[in-house]
Structure 1
C-alpha cells in the first residue's frame, strides 16, 4: 500500500498562516516601557527611529503573545479570588512628552503582605530558568527590564510600591516580590530616554563585535554593524523632529507640519537620510537641489535625494 502523502499545505501550516494573517504589522509611536531599561541605548535610538523593519509575525510568536495575555488574566483573577481588589488593567502610562509609552497590568489593594497599601502590579510568565533566577536574585538583578518597567509605572502613576507577580510557564508555580519605588533610578532612566528621543545622533555602540551577546540577535544588527542603510521613513529623515509638550507629537522641519503615523511610514519625495544613519563618507551637500553626496567604501559615489532605489 502506498504511503499517505504528506498534505501540502499542512493543517499546522494553515493554522500558522491564520495567525500571521491576523497579526498587525506595526511600529511603536515611541519607546515601549517594556524596553525602557534596555542596556543598549543605541538599540533604543534605532527602535524609536524605525531603523529596521518590524520583526515578521509567525504562528509561534503570536501564540506566545496570546499565552502571555491569557496568563496575565488568570493571575489577576487569582488575586481577586482571595479578596484582593484589582483595577486599572490596560490603563495607559505616558512619560517624556508621551514618547515613553506602556499599558499597566493592574493596580491592587488588599495584598496580604500589606493590605492597606496600593501596589502597581506587573504580571510575567517566565521559563524555569528565569523563574528560579528571580527567586534567587530578585527582579532588579535577574530581570532588569521588568524592574525598570514597574519603576516607571510607579513613577508615572504616583505609587510607591510595586507587586512583581510571576508564573513559571513550565511548572505553573507562582512567586511574587514587593518592589519599592526608587525615585533616583526613575529620574536617571527617564532623563536618559529623553536624550535618546531628542538626539539626532545614535549613541555609541554597546560593542564593536556584531557577535556580542546583546548584538547577535538584535533586530538592528545589520544597520548598526553591517553597513545596511535604514528603512526609508520620516523617522530616518534629516527633517524629522520629535516635539516637546504633547503626546508623542512629531513634525517635519522641511514642510513645517505635524506628521501622522501613515505619513511617517510612507515618507515623502523630499526625504533625505539623517547623515548619522549613512555608513558612507559625506563629501558634499547641495541645499538648493536638496541632495547629500556620499563616497562608499569602494570609492563609488551615491547621491541621496537623487534616487531612493538603493535604500528601498
Structure 2
C-alpha cells in the first residue's frame, strides 16, 4: 500500500484563529467582577477596574476561554438527568442570576441554582461550573476547591451572600478525560463580607495599591499584564502606554451610588463610549519610573526621571525641556 502524504493546512487553522479574534474584540468590563476578586494582587484588580490596559488574546486562547461557556448547558443537562431541578435564570427577573454591590461597581453572574442534590435534596444550592485540565483536576480531587482554587471559593461566597443562599455546589469537568467532580460548600458570612469589603477598597482607591512583590522578578508578576506599571524600569515610560480614557484620568472618581464623576467638569460622565476629553491627565502612579514634580494652572502636569523631564498635556505625556 502506498503511503499517504500528510499535508498540514496551517493557513486554514490560522484563518480560524483570526476569525475568532475578529469576532471577539477585547473590551473592558465596566465593573470589577466577583470572578476575579479572589486574585491575590489588589493592584492588578485596580488596574483592571481602571482600564489601564486592554487584555490581548490570540484566537487559540479565546477559543479555550469559550470552553467553559460551552460546557454549562451540558452540565445542566447532566444534573437534570440525575433528577436535580436546575433554575438557569432568576425567576423574579427572568434573567441570569446576578449580584451587585458598591453601586454596581462590583458585580457577578452565577451559573444557576439547584434543588434536589442527592447529598442534600431539600436545600437550594448555588451552582458554579468550571473546567480543569488534567493536572488541575487531580489537585482538585486530592485537596478540594478551597485549597486549590481559592478564587472560585471567593466568587461563590460573594454569590451566596448576594442571593441569600447557604450552600453552593461546585461541579467541575476534566477536559482531558471528561470526568466530573462535585463538591458542596457552606456559606461563610465573614468570608463573603471580607471579599465585598476588599472590592470596595479597590474600587474607591484614588491610587493603585502597593505591588504584591518587591520587583518584577516576583513569580506572580512575571505573568501579569500590568508589571510595567508597578516597578521602575530602565525606560522612563512603559513599553505599552496606559490607555487614555476616563478611568485612567486623575479627574475621574467612582461614585458610591454608581456611575463616575468627572471632578473637572463637575458632573457624571458616560465612560463606556471610550471618549477622551482635552482635560484628560494620567494618574501619576501609572508611571513608576517617573517622579511627579508639579502641575500648573493650565492643567499641565510635570514629571522627571534621572535624565529627562516630561509634561502631561491633552496630547499625552511628552518629553520637555522646562
Q: Tell me if TM exceeds 0.5.
A: yes
Q: Which residue of 2 aligns with 1:308?
A: 316
Q: Which residue of 2 aligns with 1:216?
A: 222
- Between 1:227-236 and 1:189-198, the stretch displaced more is 227-236
User: Deviation of residue 102 (structure 1)?
Assistant: 1.6
Matches of 1:167 and 1:32 in 2, distance apart?
23
User: Deviation of residue 268 (structure 1)?
Assistant: 0.9
User: Deviation of residue 302 (structure 1)?
Assistant: 1.0
Q: Which residue of 1 aligns with 2:80?
A: 80
Task: Specify which of 234, 239, 247 is matched with residue 235 of structure 1.
Answer: 247
User: Deviation of residue 242 (structure 1)?
Assistant: 0.3
- Structure 1 stretches lacking a partner, 5+ long: none
Deviations 1:46-100 (A, max 9, x none): 1111112x22232212211222111121111100111111113432221222111
Q: Which residue of 2 aligns with 1:49?
A: 50
Task: Specify which of 172, 184, 194 is matched with residue 166 of structure 1.
Answer: 172
Q: Classify the secondary structure of the residue corresponding to 2:222.
A: coil
TM-score, length-scaled by structure 2: 0.88
Q: Which residue of 2 aligns with 1:153?
A: 159
Change (3 A) 1:97 1:259: same
Change (3 A) 1:57 1:278: closer
Q: Which residue of 2 aligns with 1:244?
A: 256
Contact 1:51/1:230 (8 A) holds in 2: yes
Deviations 1:242-264 (A, max 9, x none): 01123xx112111122222334x
Q: Which residue of 2 aligns with 1:40?
A: 41
Deviations 1:190-233 (A, max 9, x none): 11110111011111111023122211111111222345252211
Contact 2:229/2:287 (8 A) holds in 1: no
Deviations 1:93-152 (A, max 9, x none): 212221112211110001011000000000000011111111211111110110101111
| 1:265-304 → structure 2 map (5 Å cutoff) | 265-279=274-288, 280-286=290-296, 288-298=297-307, 300-304=308-312
Q: Which residue of 1 aligns with 2:19?
A: 18
* 2:144 corresponds to 1:138: yes
Contact 1:51/1:223 (8 A) holds in 2: no
- Structure 2 stretches lacking a partner, 5+ long: 90-95
Matches of 1:17 and 1:274 in 2, distance apart?
34
Matches of 1:125 and 1:207 in 2, distance apart?
29
User: Deviation of residue 266 (structure 1)?
Assistant: 2.6
Q: Classify the secondary structure of the residue corresponding to 2:218.
A: coil
Change (3 A) 1:131 1:273: same
User: Deviation of residue 285 (structure 1)?
Assistant: 1.5
Matches of 1:4 and 1:177 in 2, distance apart?
45
Q: Classify the secondary structure of the residue corresponding to 1:155.
A: helix
Change (3 A) 1:13 1:293: same
Contact 2:100/2:108 (8 A) holds in 1: yes
User: Deviation of residue 44 (structure 1)?
Assistant: 0.8
